[in-house]
Amino acid sequence: METIQNNQETKLIRTNLIEPSAINPRTYFCPVKLEELSGSVKEVGVIQAIVIRPKGNKFEIVCGERRFRATLLAGLEEIPAVIRELTDEEALDLALTENIQREDVEPMDEALCFKNYIEKRNMDIPALCLRFGKSETYVRGRIRLNELIPEFIQQMTEGIITLSSAFELCKYSTEIQKDIFEQYYKEEDHWNSWRKVSAKDLSSKIEKKYTTKLDLFHFDKTDCNTCPHNSNNFLLFADSSGACGNCALKSCLLAKNTDYMVQSILKALNDDPSIQLGQRYSYNEKVYETLTGQGYEITEIDTLNREPDMPEPPAREKGISKADHAQAQAEHKAKVEECEKKKAEYKSKVEQGLLAKFILIGDSDWYLCYVPVSNVTNGPVNITHQIEKLEIRDKRNKEIAREKIVADTKSLVHKVDVKSGDFSDLEEQLVYFFLLSSLKSSRYKEFKVKSNYLEAEQKLKIVKSLTDEKKKMIRRDYLIDHLSKSYGLSDDLLLQFTRQHLPEDLSKIEAEHNAIYKKRHQRFKERVALMKMQEKAQILQEEPAVAKQD
């Protein structure tokens, strides 16, 4: 093989000496379009040379992998190429720029390039907009395409789904996308296929089948207002109608609602210990498991009376006359009186021992209801069993009290005066108790542990019998662990610490990277000098023209 110099000259290189690059931002090549390009290559050859860089005895593609693949497909043994000496960083930058500045750039290629610029080049969205002359909406939309599952990426690249449909699909979780693909996109001629559905109709179909209205749930939705899975946030501007939107991440929705139901039920039980828990037909199994796990008994009930909800007062709407509004207020007052009368009746029967007050656990909420006592007892009461249940509940109540004490103490501990008193033995033990989490694996045998994920009892046992040597090991392991994760100002401390313990190794690292910098800095100075010369020449050329005008 001939020796090829590093310049901009195009040379024919054998394809068996060229390998694709692992850093190529482009990962998918449409087989149909590749076949078309292959036919063109067979007929007229590769018009634009690819860019490669030396890699051992071979070359690695920097730009032009699609042309290279088409050449292989066409059965050609050589391809025109420009060889350049490039670092990984320079190769990535060139590959990204080449991919995104092509006239026929695919939306998915743009999406991947923008993502790479953010992740590997530390650029933010405003910087991308400035560099490529695109609007923020355009860039954000392309970046969002990276959320598409591979199946939809392939279908979009092959033209099976439109870009508009892809924008709708990428709003949803991987789980939902996979289900949509399997049911409505996988088979072309399926009777229920969505392949030819417009983006607008697709949005409506997905929302109807896969999302749940947040207005139907009563937990605190503050976090939902900015959640990317809230349909109000799918568009650039949120829905201004006042509705909470629809949730497209049911796992999160159900977890939040389960927590809300458990906490609000426990509060109701704490406010009124006489209330019992019940369920019938359909109920929230997670709530059921959580409460029974805490020692609460949940009775299955059939006959019940729901406590009536207090009616909402009528709003004075536009176009409603004063007389009609007064009539609505009178009807509302009558409904309130009827509701209060019913509540008083239930309360009286509870006091008489005829009704028992229950919390009925539903699917997504709970309700107060009243159950005839005869339906609850079902015969003679087993006193021993009832006492056992009360004891379990009492034990859980004690655990709850302990949990709340600990939670409040975590806030209180910040008020401890750090200047008061000497540093006690307990405080020193606590320091090493927490430092142990950074213990190196090479120390496990010496400390007689299998990992640094230790139970509190194990840690306490270790810290109570530490020698000075072992204390030093723990402190130093802690420093190494945190210095290895350092950034910013603490980088200097990292270098000082390493220079103290491993001066020769650090010197080798510094020499290697500084040598690379010196070469780059020299090229920088040469380019600046050349630019200044060009500027000077330009000024000299302009001077005669100015003199002539004068």
Residue 343: inside a domain, yes or no? yes
Pairing of strands 298-300, 276-279: parallel
Phi, psi of 310 (to 5 degrees): -65, 125
- Give the pLDDT score at 1: 32
Q: State pLDDT tens for residues 299-351.
A: 888 777 888 888 888 877 777 788 888 888 898 899 999 999 999 999 998 88
Q: Who wins on pLDDT, 482 or 26?
A: 482
Residues 439 and 367 in one domain: no
- Give me the mean pLDDT over the 439-444 stretch: 80
Q: How confident is the model at residue 181 (pLDDT cuts 50, 70, 90)?
A: very high
**Domain of residue 480, residue span:** 425-500
E-strand spans in 483-536?
none
Residues 267 and 373 in one domain: yes
Residues 466 and 356 in one domain: no
- Give the pLDDT score at 48: 85
Q: Which of 482, 500, 518 is the last residue of a domain?
A: 500
User: Residue 283 in contact with residue 362, Cβ under 8 Å?
Assistant: yes
Q: Which of 110, 127, 162 is the last residue of a domain?
A: 162
Residues 287 and 356 in one domain: yes
Is pLDDT above 50 for 240? Answer: no
Is pLDDT above 60 for 52? Answer: yes
Q: Which of 162, 191, 208 is the last residue of a domain?
A: 162
Q: In sequence order, what are the beta bridge partners of 359?
A: 277, 368
- Give the pLDDT score at 386: 59
Residues 363 and 462 in one domain: no
In terms of C-beta density within 10 A (0-12 exposed, 13-18 middle, 19 or more buried), how is residue 523 classed?
exposed
Q: Report CA dihedral (335, 336, 338, 339) to the nearest 10 degrees.
A: 120
- Give the pLDDT score at 503: 85
Q: State pLDDT tens for residues 395-418.
A: 766 777 677 776 777 676 667 676
Residues 16 and 157 in one domain: yes
Residues 57 and 143 in one domain: yes
Q: How confident is the model at residue 62 (pLDDT cuts 50, 70, 90)?
A: confident
Is pLDDT above 50 for 374? Answer: yes
User: Residue 278 in contact with residue 298, Cβ under 8 Å?
Assistant: yes
Residue 375: inside a domain, yes or no? yes
Pairing of strands 50-55, 78-83: parallel
Share of the chain above pLDDT 70, in %: 84
Give the global pTM.
0.41
CA atoms of 316 and 326, how far apart (whole Å): 10
Distances (CA, A) of 409 to 168, 385, 405, 412, 425: 48, 36, 6, 5, 21
- Give the DSSP letter string of 456-497: HHHHHHHHTT--HHHHHHHHHHHHHHHHTT--GGGHHHHHHH
Residues 366 and 461 in one domain: no
Residue 109: inside a domain, yes or no? yes
Residue 126: inside a domain, yes or no? yes
Distances (CA, A) of 176 to 153, 184, 207, 215, 411: 15, 12, 11, 21, 41
Residues 110 and 42 in one domain: yes
Residues 340 and 463 in one domain: no
CA atoms of 44 and 67, how far apart (whole Å): 13
Q: Who wins on pLDDT, 451 or 107?
A: 107
Is pLDDT above 60 for 488? Answer: no
Q: State how many domains the chain has.
A: 3
Residue 178: inside a domain, yes or no? no
CA atoms of 115 and 130, how far apart (whole Å): 16
Residues 279 and 348 in one domain: yes
Phi, psi of 21 (to 5 degrees): -100, 140
CATH number of the structural domain spanning residue 99: 3.90.1530.30
Residue 179: inside a domain, yes or no? no
